[in-house]
A and B are shown apart, each in its own frame.
Chain A
Amino acid sequence: DTAVSQTPKYLVTQMGNDKSIKCEQNLGHDTMYWYKQDSKKFLKIMFSYNNKELIINETVPNRFSPKSPDKAHLNLHINSLELGDSAVYFCASSQELAGGFEQFFGPGTRLTVL
């Protein structure tokens, strides 16, 4: 049983398009995250939700809009895709918002913008 799942695994699209990535966790965790890992392998947090409430919103362009319909799901919609958006996007979850808890990552979505 997959703990944190993401779809799609690969996404190839043209500049200017709008795309969404979906994430689901079946661990019963309260907190979910989106991370971006660029070509230099640097993993940087984008957003964090706790019980469907946005807690962390890093300096991410407002073309990126997360949505959490319930505690188990956190989706990421990206408008007007740019070349620099090409990266691997990881969803993660942890039991609680407070630190000290293990984060469980999804398998990642490899986004390529042409």
Chain B
Amino acid sequence: RKEVEQDPGPFNVPEGATVAFNCTYSNSASQSFFWYRQDCRKEPKLLMSVYSSGNEDGRFTAQLNRASQYISLLIRDSKLSDSATYLCVVNDSGTYKYIFGTGTRLKVLA
């Protein structure tokens, strides 16, 4: 089993739609969780950290389910500019490694 798994997509959604991505992780001792966004031929950038109680930033909501070992990202009212690859990142507190998922590609269509 991969350490961090994501559905690669692509998810093709119309503007204004709500879309959700999940990410599962294998190490139950993982402590820190993030969603990064990567545009085509660009570097990854932090979208949001994921907190135990769940957190929201504008149209974006992140949730953590430790029991089932997954995190999720919900995007409401999708914009064309949301088209990108969304990377799930898990930090292994024992080794200090940040482990990246393969990413989920989102295309928002006009």
Contact = CB atoms under 8 A, between A and B. Distances in A.
Interface string B70-83: 00000000000000
B96 A106 contact: no
Contact of B92 (A42, A90, A97, A99): A99
Contact of B49 (A41, A48, A98, A100): A100
B43 A98 contact: no
Contact of A99 (B46, B91, B102): B91
Contacts of B99: 45
A45 B97 CA distance: 8
A108 B93 CA distance: 26
Interface residues of B, number: 22
A99 B98 contact: yes
A56 interface: yes
Contacts of A35: 100
Given A99-B91, A102-B46, A40 B102 contact: yes
Contacts of B100: 35, 42-44
Given A40-B102, A56-B95, A56-B97, A99 B32 contact: yes
Interface residues of A, number: 22
Contacts of A48: 96-97
Contacts of A41: 85, 102-103
Interface of B: 31-32, 34, 42-46, 49, 85, 87, 91-93, 95-100, 102-103
29 contacts: A40-B102, A41-B85, A41-B102, A41-B103, A42-B100, A43-B87, A43-B100, A44-B100, A45-B97, A56-B95, A56-B97, A90-B43, A90-B44, A99-B32, A99-B91, A99-B92, A99-B93, A99-B96, A100-B32, A100-B49, A102-B34, A102-B46, A103-B98, A105-B43, A105-B44, A106-B43, A107-B42, A107-B43, A108-B43
Given A44-B100, A56-B95, 9 more contacts: A41-B85, A42-B102, A48-B96, A55-B96, A56-B97, A90-B43, A100-B91, A103-B44, A105-B45
